[in-house]
Every structure is written in structure tokens, then in C-alpha cells.
Amino acid sequence: MTAATADGGLEEFSIATWNVNSLRVRGEQLLQWLQANSPDVVALQETKVQDPDFPHAEFLAAGYHSVFSGQKTYNGVALLSRHPMTDIVRDIPDFDDPPRRVLAATIGGPSGGIRVVNLYVPNGQAPGSEKFAYKLKWLDALTRWLKREAESHPALVVVGDFNVAPEDRDVHDPAAWIGCVHVSPEERAALERITALGLVDAFRHFEQPEKSFSWWDYRQGAFRRNNGLRIDLILVHQQLLPRLAGCRIDVEPRRVERASDHTPVVALFRPTATSNAAEAAASMKV
């Protein structure tokens, strides 16, 4: 568990993002993962529960504060933190979007606080569809808001299910996915406009194994065959990069019975830079 500085800021800490695809189904698995790994902050997507049904007490008993924004059956996001959370924002400001897809909070003290933005980006269905146009419009609105967030909170970390594979190496078979959602030039350009705000893909900041994915379809033995996509991202503001010590995908939760189709991605931060990325990754506590 992370220590705090005298002014309430965070020293070494870890942030995880996980599309759990229903807390009702995966709640016990999540609690077991929290107990085993003790991350400081966890961003959840597709909680699929309304706010009155969110298991706040269970997470509190496990040592986590929680804030959440849910709706019946679909969508829903939540943040769990071992530290108090302030300055909560639900939804993209000045953008009319009923689905619950966005949740932001500041974690830690006023001078050392980390601003975490949790996203569940729309799927988009297929290029040329109305849902695809909505996705691009949503991403444009997100970019305008994140620009303001980055200006106000340089210690910014944007995490979640982006439903965009940034590069061909994030796709198990790029040729098979040509013309499909998640990999289109329009979506990737929208993601690049977000990273141009000074945000860096934490996973790609380090050397990683080939064929590293965070999502696998339930069908056609996709997980067994490692036919996946890397669409769950942790974007770190460049001012935080000296503290970024490692980032990895935890594949183990995808192996269990009734697993989510996504698996956690975890980033570790330290008070000072770690020169040896391999050593940092090996010592990650989650």
C-alpha cells in the first residue's frame, strides 16, 4: 500500500484499469484480485449497475473509497481508491450524453494529488454507422475537455477502455481487421489528438512482449489462441513520466471461469524515475 507525503501527496502508487463487464457477475473476482494485488487506484468500466445497487460497503470493507456513476444494464464507471477522492466530475462537461461513461477524481493532497480520468469510450459498431459517427463526436468532446484538464491538472492520468487499438501491433491480425471498428484511421487519429495533449501511452513507454493484448472475444477460442486487441489504455501526462516505473497487462484474471472479456492493465509510479525498466516491471506490486 502506498505511503503519503506530508502534504497528502502520493509517493509510490499503482493505478489499474479494468473493464469488468458486470459487477454482478465479476464482483467476487474483483474483490479477490484487490486482496491479492492491493492496487492504490482501480478504474472500472461496464459496471452495469445503478448507483443504489453499487457495492460501496463491500469495497469499503476491503479498504477502498469508491465513487461511481451507473445505469441499468449497460455502461457504468467507477473509481476505487485507498486514498480520499475529491473534485469529482461525472460525464464530459457541456456535452449531452446520457450513457454513464466518464468519471474523474483527484486522489491525494493539493500539491501532490493525481488527477485520474476514467473512460468507457463508445464501441462505434462499424465505420460509416450512426454509432461510429457518435463515437467520433464523443472523442472530439472528450479531447476538448481533456485539454482543460491537462492545463489544470498536469499530474493527469487518463485510463479506461478506449475501444481503439492504437497501432497494428496492438491487433492480433491487422489484415483481418481492415475496415473494422477499433482500428480505423478515423479512430486512431482521434486517439492521437488526445495523446497530443501531452499524454503518453504508459504501456508502450517500456519494452513489452509481442502480441500483448487486453481484450479477447468470447467466441472462437480467441483467448486460447491469443487473438486479441490492446484497447485498454493508461495515458500518463508527460510531466508524470519521470515517476512512471512500469506498466503491464495482468492476463491471469482472463483465465478464470466466467471471466470478463477484458483483463486489468496496471501502471506503477515512484517518487523518482527508475532507470532500469525491466527491474521496475519485475518489482511492480500489482
Q: What percent of the chain has pLDDT over 70?
A: 90
Within 10 angstroms of residue 189's Cβ, the number of other Cβ atoms is: 12
Q: Is the pLDDT of residue 1 over 60?
A: no
Under 8 Å between Cβ of 199 and 234: no
Under 8 Å between Cβ of 166 and 191: yes
Q: Is the pLDDT of residue 5 over 70?
A: no
pLDDT of res. 8: 43
Within 10 angstroms of residue 257's Cβ, the number of other Cβ atoms is: 5
Name the grid cell of 50. Answer: 445503478
Q: Where do the DSSP E strands lie in 109-163?
A: 114-120, 156-161
Nearest to 101 by CA among 144, 159, 150: 159
Q: What is the pTM of this model?
A: 0.92
Radius of gyration of the chain (CA): 18
Task: Tell me which residues are annotated as active site.
Answer: 120, 161
3-state DSSP assignment of residue 261: coil
Residues facing 117 on adjacent strands: 104, 158
Mean pLDDT of all residues in 211-227: 97
Q: Per-residue pLDDT tens for 18-72?
A: 999 999 999 999 999 999 999 999 999 999 999 999 999 999 999 999 999 999 8
Confidence label for 273 from pLDDT (cuts 50, 70 and 90): very low
| 280 Cβ contact partners less than 8 Å away, ≥ 6 residues apart | 206, 245, 246, 268, 270, 274
Task: Identify the residue with better confidence: 277 or 123.
Answer: 123
Domains and CATH numbers, the chain: 13-282 (3.60.10.10)
Q: What percent of the chain has pLDDT over 90?
A: 87
Q: Is the pLDDT of residue 276 over 50?
A: no
Q: Is the pLDDT of residue 7 over 80?
A: no
Between CA 180 and CA 125 the distance in angstroms is 9
